[in-house]
Amino acid sequence: MVKDRRELARFWAEEKPSVRIGKAGVSERVVAEVKRQLKGKELIKVRVLPSALSGGTLNKIIAELIERTSCVACGRRGLVVVLSRKAV
């Protein structure tokens, strides 16, 4: 998991979203990509595009993504969420 708040703040400022969720929602391709990226990195940034919100609320979309990928949300700002591997 993230060591401290400064590390998380640095990640928010420096990294661009590496996964985008569009109008298809949390599809199998999105789930596979998030899992693949979390194998190589401790944290990833996911952006939910406004077109994805027609299928449900932002909280529902994030909850579904977390459930299907077995990860942890470290924070959310607007339509962007930072995900981390689940601590074992």
Instruction: Give the count of alpha carbons within 13 A of 69, CB side only.
Output: 29
> What tens digit of pLDDT does each residue of 41-64 get?
989 999 999 999 987 799 999 999
Cα–Cα distance for residue pair 35/60, rounded to 1 Å: 19
* Residue 9 pLDDT exceeds 90: no
- pTM for the full model? 0.85
Q: Residue ranges of the domains in the chain? A: 5-85
Residue with tokens 């298809």: 24
Here the tokens at position 84 are 């981390």
Here the tokens at position 81 are 């969420």
Name the packing angle between helices 28-40 and 58-69 (round to 10°).
Answer: 60
Cα–Cα distance for residue pair 24/14, rounded to 1 Å: 28
In CATH terms, 5-85 corresponds, of 3.40.50.620, 3.40.1050.10, 3.30.70.270, 3.30.110.60, to: 3.30.110.60
